[in-house]
Amino acid sequence: MEKTLIELHLQKNIHTIKGKLLLDVHFSIPEFGFITLFGKSGVGKTTILRMIAGLTKPDSGYINIGNDSWFNSINKLNLKTQKRNIGFVFQDYALFPNMTVEQHLFYAQTLKDSAHVNDLLEIFDLKGLRTRKPDTLSGGQKQRVAVARALARKPQILLLDEPLSALDSDSRLILQDEIMEAHKSFHSTTILVSHDVDEITRLSDMVYVIDNGRIVNSGNADFIFKEPELADLSYKGKITGIEKSKIEIELTENNPPTFKPGDIITISSK
């Protein structure tokens, strides 16, 4: 039976482009699990990460980590960020311009561990860049440093806020593999915020779908993304011709059965 590491129930009034919204979420995460928070922009996914990290104070609720409590509104407990054993990777790199790659990793450590730093440099393909500074690195290399730095202090929980969103597809795939290798090697419990369905499917054990401030669905990625309504776009139409890999479609309002000229289909783009 999986051991639960994170149990939380949090409420927070947030401001969105549509106005005020009450974020009210309740979920648990198993130890060493890799879960993703999925949903449209502005539904509170990043706010949840920030509340776990102690960067944003919830209005009410609790965050229990194993046998410890990081936040409890009834007991007026709110553990400082510095005392929460987390690593946080933001969308931007947040690197120090005057530090080398290796210095970034050592800087993140409370207790210096050269072997762990070397392991991270190896996993994230940074050994040849250890003496380089950020202004000489590509975007993908900078984000590798950011993720490796977050793992340098051996966090109990790794929080990833769309860390790959600015990268090209090749860089994303490489870093996804490296993140998964690090996750398995260092046993952090990982929470990812992402809009990329392929990325979520490759990495996640469990997906929580958030809409209008609530968790509206949960399950593994195959279960979650089989639902057409979770696609960004959904069209219905009729195939009017097929030529090699080219398919001609006339959009209609009918339902899909098979896949040959004249059939009705549903096209979904995630």
Name which of 99, 163, 109, 161 is nearest 131 in CA terms. Answer: 99
Q: According to the CATH classification, is domain 4-230 in 3.40.640.10?
A: no
Q: What is the pLDDT of residues 114-133, one digit of tens each?
A: 999 999 999 999 999 999 99
Residue 226 has pLDDT above 70, yes or no: yes
Residue 266 has pLDDT above 90, yes or no: no
- Helix 114-123 and helix 101-108, axial crossing angle in degrees, nearest 10: 130
**Quick check: 42 and 214 in contact, CB under 8 A?**
no
Using pLDDT thresholds of 50, 70 and 90, give the confidence band for residue 90: confident
Annotated domain spans of the chain: 4-230, 233-269
Q: What is the pLDDT of residues 7-37, one digit of tens each?
A: 999 999 998 877 899 999 999 999 999 999 9
Q: Scan for tokens 């949090």, then name that residue.
A: 10
User: Which structure tokens are listed for 148?
Assistant: 């490796």
Lowest mean pLDDT among 63-77, 130-144, 158-172, 215-229: 215-229
